[in-house]
């Protein structure tokens, strides 16, 4: 849902197939309630005024304590204010791009895994040259992979991929998981493999995120 009062941006949103809400006063609590901020999963505050983004973050956090909030700040000094207001992630033009912002929404488990060590980002760049990619999958309740150990899942894949990390339902991220680690429904697997092969396998067993990427773009 795109919230804006600019006609040009409204037209662009409609052309892209996104629902649009004309927000005349984006810092009004009723405006955020009208678009479901109290029950949404993610809110992105990207106004061109830092003070407005801070205020929107404050209101949204009060309306929905579980909301994931990504906020844009033009000035480096705004970061601490946005985080104090309740932002989970702060986007500064000097350190993060719009594409990275999208990934924070759609690929949170992959980014958590990669950002633990800066060296991993360089590794992903090299892997992309070999047509390898990292994919993120969540095991549904009915998945036949639930209850199996990582070694069993990789055996089913016949060497087409390896599982490099697992995010459990409780949020715990296991990097370099042992082959004996059992998997449960709701676990998110981070797998590395050949682009075409890895998609074919997990399409049968898990829900795949709609967006994938090769390498880590900065």
Domain 2-96 identical in fold to domain 110-208: no
To which H or E segment does residue 21 belong?
strand 20-22
List the structure tokens of 212: 């994938």
pLDDT grade, residue 214 (50/70/90)? very low
Give CATH for domain 2-96.
3.40.50.720
Mean pLDDT of the chain: 77
- Assigned architecture for domain 110-208: 2-Layer Sandwich (3.30)
* Residues 86, 90, 92: CA angle, nearest 5 degrees: 150
pTM tops 0.75, yes or no: no
Residue with tokens 């549904």: 140
Rounded average pLDDT over 12-38: 79
Residue-range domain boundaries for the chain: 2-96, 110-208
Per residue in 70-97, pLDDT (tens digit) is 998 888 888 888 988 889 988 887 555 5
Give the per-residue pLDDT at 182: 94
Per residue in 102-130, pLDDT (tens digit) is 555 656 666 666 555 444 555 555 555 55
d(CA 210, CA 106): 8
pLDDT grade, residue 159 (50/70/90)? confident
Using CA atoms, how far residue 92 sits from 73, 83, 138, 175, in Å, is 5, 12, 30, 28
């Amino acid at each position: 849902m795109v919230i804006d009062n600019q006609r040009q941006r409204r037209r662009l949103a409609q052309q892209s197939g996104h629902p649009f809400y004309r927000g005349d006063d984006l810092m009004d609590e009723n405006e955020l309630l009208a678009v479901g901020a109290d029950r949404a999963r993610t809110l992105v505050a990207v106004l061109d005024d830092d003070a407005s983004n801070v205020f929107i973050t404050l209101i949204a956090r009060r309306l929905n304590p579980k909301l994931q909030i990504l906020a844009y700040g033009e000035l480096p000094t705004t970061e601490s204010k946005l985080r104090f207001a309740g932002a989970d992630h702060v986007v500064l033009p000097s350190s993060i791009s719009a594409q990275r912002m999208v990934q924070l929404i759609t690929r949170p488990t992959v980014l958590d895994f990669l950002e633990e060590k800066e060296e991993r980002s360089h590794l992903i760049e090299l892997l992309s040259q070999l047509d390898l990619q990292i994919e993120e999958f969540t095991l549904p309740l009915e998945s036949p992979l639930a209850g199996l150990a990582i070694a069993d899942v990789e055996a089913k894949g016949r060497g087409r991929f390896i599982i490099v990390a697992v995010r459990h339902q409780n949020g715990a991220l296991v990097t370099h998981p042992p082959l004996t680690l059992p998997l449960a429904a709701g676990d998110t697997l981070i797998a590395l493999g050949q682009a075409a092969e890895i998609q074919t396998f997990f399409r049968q067993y898990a829900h795949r995120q709609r967006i994938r990427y090769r390498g880590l773009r900065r």
